[in-house]
Chains A and B, each alone.
Chain A
Amino acid sequence: MADLRTQFAGLRLRNPLILASGIWGESGVSLAGAHHHGAGAVVTKSIGDAPRPGYPNPTIETFDRWGFLNAMGLPNPGIDEYPQEIAAALAEGATVIGSIFGHDAAEFAALGRRMAATGVVALELNLSCPHAEGLGSEVGSDPAAVEEITRAVVRAQPLPVLAKLTPNTADIGALAEAAERGGASGISAINTVRGLAIDLPLRRPTLAHGLGGLSGAAIRPLGLACVFQIYDRIEIPIIGIGGVSTAEDVVAYAMAGARAVEIGTAVAFDGIGVFERIETALGPLLDTLGFGTFEEAVGVAHEADVGTAVPSAGAVPHR
């Protein structure tokens, strides 16, 4: 059976399946539950410097099996209170990645320093929440800001830093390059895609906040494209995110260039057992595809002769 372990950014995970930020992340017992159900690592909720209740409901809209639109508004108990939840998850043996968000480099650095002291193995910078004023993708769409924030956090504390990037931009590759220049150890891509739902009888956006972020199967091709594009632009490793719910999805992200994936929306559709289910299917799938290890699959899609093959008569090569 193919070896599912993966190593990147100084992390060594038993498998490449990571619980995404914002899912099962309010309580340490829940994070530990994801670990016990097979997650290779778990990412905390995004934590800020003070308690933040987030937006009023409705904070989520569902679209059958293909995805969710959410605007939670970065609810979190703040960095003073949250470490007790991390401690509870660590006590159960979970590998925890701490997600943080802030308005500027100084705030990120201060939070990074405190998060690094909680026992997490890495930090993930939320540079990509698509629906919070002055936060998330509003700071994370500017390559200069991404570089400055990443550098500030890297200098403030000793742990590897993962920059979680937004797809709501013209060139996510430029953001990835900026994070790499700033000293990031890896890239997490993508966060949710900005979206909107409208209620017809009420003639208004459904979510209380109006705009939200789309997740789930609907954004999988978009996430794959972003990982594929970023892979050619940087040297640091990538965690692929967006619509992963099967072993096939994991291998697709790996072939596009991801050394791990994060899983979120699928937990609602398939339950937390989705981690065990994918893990069980992943080894045999890699065997069938001719890989001895998961890591062998990383980036292989880039070896294909895409777009440069001898075209049929009349076609124009696009690369």
Chain B
Amino acid sequence: MRRVCRVEERVQETPSTVTLRFDDPPAARPGQFVMLWIPGDDEIPMSLSYAEGARKGVTVKAMGGTSQHVLKIRTGGRIGIRGPYGVGFDVTPRRILVVGGGSGAAVLAPATEAALAGGASAVVALGATTASELLFADRFRAAGAEVAVATDDGSAGAHGFVTPVADALLRDRPFDVLWTCGPEVMMEKLVASAARHQVPVRLALERHMKCALGLCDACSIGPYHVCIDGPVFPAEQIAGLPEFGRFQRDASGRRIGRGPPVRAHRTV
């Protein structure tokens, strides 16, 4: 059953990214997601970027379609929430390498904060198109993480993708686990890199979703459903699947190429 709640805070994180804060669901774990309903428009899966405490939050990047509508919601606006759904991150490892691509950092931030609060150490590698689009770098630092960045245009940190930064960290430093969320092509490279260094990987996947209850099959990947078996998976479950990094399904169930889920299913 979905619940309607008020947006209590709205934070412009980057030029293209906004966080909405609200007091629902009552309890959740880092890595879980909610179905966020924009009344009159659509309902989309959003990982919680603030998962603990009474005040939850989601962080949305403008990607067209419904995400564009989410960005228009102001403080005091009403949204519907159902969930939380899915399995979260196990936050017990001690030495964690966190690799976030673009808005992928959103789901990693609360997990990293929880691990750090529990006494873990974390190195966070963040990738973005440009310096102003780096998400949550200050938040990770404030929580006690060491932060390395890479930008496509070289305006902050290393020039280029975040994957070489992560690869160097895996080579030089010991880690118990690598957590990642971002473009699948990035995660695919990280999985290969981490395998070379014998570091287990937990990755958070994104898929088109409808029911979020394990029924409709929209978010299937191999034998798994991202809504109930994920969105956080051990890499060994996902890495060998034909879908990973290659295709997912659009609203009709058609196999479509890599890239973010196609939300533009209002063409009926």
Identify the A interface with B (CB < 8 A): 22-27, 29-30, 33, 45, 51-64, 68, 70, 72-73, 75-78, 81-82, 199, 201-202, 204, 206, 208, 264-265, 267-268, 271
- With A26-B220, A29-B220, A29-B223 as contacts: A53 and B268 at CB distance below 8 Å: yes
- With A29-B220, A56-B265 as contacts: A62 and B253 at CB distance below 8 Å: no
* Cβ-defined partner of A30 (8 Å) among B39, B223, B254: B223
- Provide the residues of chain A in CB contact with B252, threshold 8 Å: 51-54, 75-78
- Contact at B78–A202, with CB atoms within 8 Å? yes
> Could you show 9 A-B contacts with beta carbons less than 8 Å apart?
A23-B215, A30-B220, A30-B223, A53-B250, A53-B251, A53-B267, A62-B82, A72-B210, A73-B268
- Contact at B2–A206, with CB atoms within 8 Å? yes
* Cβ-defined partner of A202 (8 Å) among B4, B213, B225, B249: B4
- Contact at B1–A61, with CB atoms within 8 Å? yes
Q: Report whether over half of chain A's contact residues are helix, strand or loop; otherwise say mixed.
A: loop
Chain A nearest CB: distance from B107 CB in Å?
A: 20
* A271 CA to B229 CA, complexed, in Å: 11
* A39 CA to B145 CA, complexed, in Å: 49
- Contact at A29–B222, with CB atoms within 8 Å? yes
- Contact at B4–A201, with CB atoms within 8 Å? yes
* A70 CA to B40 CA, complexed, in Å: 17
Tally chain B residues at the interface, Cβ within 8 Å: 38
Chain B nearest CB: distance from A229 CB in Å?
A: 28
- Contact at A72–B223, with CB atoms within 8 Å? no
Tally of A-B residue pairs with Cβ under 8 A? Answer: 125
- Contact at A77–B254, with CB atoms within 8 Å? yes
- Provide the residues of chain A in CB contact with B80, threshold 8 Å: 58, 199, 202
Tell me, yes or no, whether B211 is within 8 Å of chain A by CB. yes
- Contact at B265–A30, with CB atoms within 8 Å? no
Closest to B266 in A: A56
Tell me, yes or no, whether B35 is within 8 Å of chain A by CB. yes
Known: A61-B2, A268-B211. 5 other contacts (CB 8 A): A27-B220, A58-B35, A60-B215, A72-B210, A202-B78
Chain B nearest CB: distance from A55 CB in Å?
A: 7
Closest to A132 in B: B268
- Provide the residues of chain A in CB contact with B217, threshold 8 Å: 23-27, 30, 45
* A51 CA to B266 CA, complexed, in Å: 13
- Provide the residues of chain A in CB contact with B220, threshold 8 Å: 24, 26-27, 29-30
Chain A nearest CB: distance from B222 CB in Å?
A: 6
Tell me, yes or no, whether B206 is within 8 Å of chain A by CB. no
- Contact at B253–A58, with CB atoms within 8 Å? no
* A51 CA to B262 CA, complexed, in Å: 14
Name the interface residues of B240-268: CB closer than 8 Å to any CB of A. Answer: 249-255, 265-268
- Provide the residues of chain A in CB contact with B43, threshold 8 Å: 56-59, 208
Name the interface residues of B195-217: CB closer than 8 Å to any CB of A. Answer: 210-211, 213-217
- Provide the residues of chain A in CB contact with B255, threshold 8 Å: 77, 81
What per-residue 1/0 map shows which CB atoms of B213-237 lie under 8 Å from chain A?
1111110101101001000000000
Name the interface residues of B138-180: CB closer than 8 Å to any CB of A. Answer: none
Tell me, yes or no, whether B188 is within 8 Å of chain A by CB. no
- Contact at A271–B253, with CB atoms within 8 Å? no
- Provide the residues of chain B in CB contact with A63, threshold 8 Å: 1
* A70 CA to B39 CA, complexed, in Å: 17
* A68 CA to B210 CA, complexed, in Å: 13
Chain B nearest CB: distance from A198 CB in Å?
A: 12
- Provide the residues of chain A in CB contact with B254, threshold 8 Å: 51, 77-78, 81
* A208 CA to B38 CA, complexed, in Å: 10
Chain A nearest CB: distance from B30 CB in Å?
A: 24
- Contact at A60–B4, with CB atoms within 8 Å? no
* Cβ-defined partner of B251 (8 Å) among A54, A68, A265: A54
Chain B nearest CB: distance from A39 CB in Å?
A: 14
- Contact at A199–B268, with CB atoms within 8 Å? no
Interface centre among A27, A30, A204 (most CB of B within 10 A): A27
* A56 CA to B43 CA, complexed, in Å: 8
* A59 CA to B40 CA, complexed, in Å: 12
* A264 CA to B215 CA, complexed, in Å: 8
Name the interface residues of B53-101: CB closer than 8 Å to any CB of A. Answer: 78, 80, 82
* A267 CA to B227 CA, complexed, in Å: 14
Tell me, yes or no, whether B37 is within 8 Å of chain A by CB. yes
Name the interface residues of B29-46: CB closer than 8 Å to any CB of A. Answer: 35, 37, 39-44
Closest to A203 in B: B39
- Contact at B213–A59, with CB atoms within 8 Å? no
- Provide the residues of chain A in CB contact with B42, threshold 8 Å: 56-57, 208
- Provide the residues of chain B in CB contact with A26, threshold 8 Å: 216-218, 220, 249, 253
* A73 CA to B251 CA, complexed, in Å: 11
* A164 CA to B225 CA, complexed, in Å: 27
Chain A nearest CB: distance from B58 CB in Å?
A: 15
- With A24-B215, A26-B218 as contacts: A53 and B78 at CB distance below 8 Å: no
- Contact at B268–A54, with CB atoms within 8 Å? yes
9 shortest A-B CB distances, which residue pairs? A57-B43, A53-B251, A26-B217, A53-B265, A26-B253, A77-B254, A51-B252, A268-B213, A77-B253
- Provide the residues of chain B in CB contact with A75, threshold 8 Å: 210, 218, 251-253
